[in-house]
Amino acid sequence: MKNILVLHTGGTISMHEDTQSGAVGPSLNHPLLDFTEVLKGIAKITTKQPFDLPSPHIGPREMLTLKNLIEEECRQHSFNGVVITHGTDTLEETAYFLDLTLDTTIPIVLTGAMRSSNEIGSDGLYNFISAIRVACCSEAKNKGVLVVLNDEIHAAKNVTKTHASNVSTFQSPQYGPIGLVTKREILFHYKPLYREKYNPQQISKRVALLKAYAGMEADLLDAIFDKKYDGVVIEALGQGNLPPYCLPGVERLIKANIPIVVVSRCFKGVAQDVYDYQGGGKQLKEMGVIFSNGLNGQKARIKLLITLTKTADPQKLNKIFQDPVCDFEE
């Protein structure tokens, strides 16, 4: 029997729907706590609730709290895996934060629900049991942080929420799930080739996230400069291009040693310095803009928040975002 640590953090999986108004809100009693008997044949469960927050209320400080709690609990006890229940809106960001920072090889699995506990077709309990099963699976070790919902297992780096309400919302564009949950077994068909590892002691930097659009001007970038942000991620057009009107703002930030990381706003593909015109990726690269290797905007922001705790050197940051397997030097 495997020993599994379960951390409940809030979200729809712990909420209920008001039968009269249809509004979904926090439940007085966590619905999953009533299903201990169901899990007796699967694993020995230790439950903690570090906080009870809808996922839009969860930020990097709460993510760091989870990281420290998991490492402390694993030092004190012989856990074989960890399951975290979490609201789905920012679940992918917490998963990626933990993937970049946790120092452990045991399975770490995040799950949630798209329907509250008393709605027809509620998916919370099923997803929770699936996550427990994955955390108990020996093959789930050394695969980084995993996200399990709707019978699929996804890598934290690639998974994203793609639908506002559908139970099959979590997908990994271009890559697909790394495994499946069936009634009889857990099936993995590939694993990540490498893992990055950082150990932030605190998260105090501020990183903004912008989406580029036709006719975008420099004023938003100027506001980031004026508000003294430490970095910015831009979901750029196509393969990594910006309207030329943005360039004065880009130049101002770079001269102030405020890193700019560019990803593509496209659902699939990688930002690259391909186009050679004013505002094109080639010019942005020459100006000092950092191109991220395949992350979406919210994941690139998490990574920049973490790496800025160690360095603001543009060359080191550029290498980290382009070549994640490089040795990180403080």
Q: Give me the active site residues, please.
A: 12
Find, among 68, 51, 7, the residue nearest to 201 by Cα.
Answer: 68
Can you tell me the distance from the alpha carbon of 122 to that of 114, in angstroms, rounded to the nearest whole number?
8
Can you tell me the distance from the alpha carbon of 226 to that of 231, in angstroms, rounded to the nearest whole number?
12
> In sequence order, what are the residues at sequence separation of 6 or more whose Cβ sits closer than 8 angstroms to the Cβ of residue 28?
none
Can you tell me the distance from the alpha carbon of 50 to that of 144, in angstroms, rounded to the nearest whole number?
22
Q: Where are the extended beta strands (E) located within the chain?
A: 2-8, 15-17, 24-26, 43-48, 81-85, 108-111, 145-149, 152-155, 160-161, 170-171, 179-181, 186-188, 207-211, 231-236, 260-264, 290-291
Beta bridge partners, 153, equal 148, 179
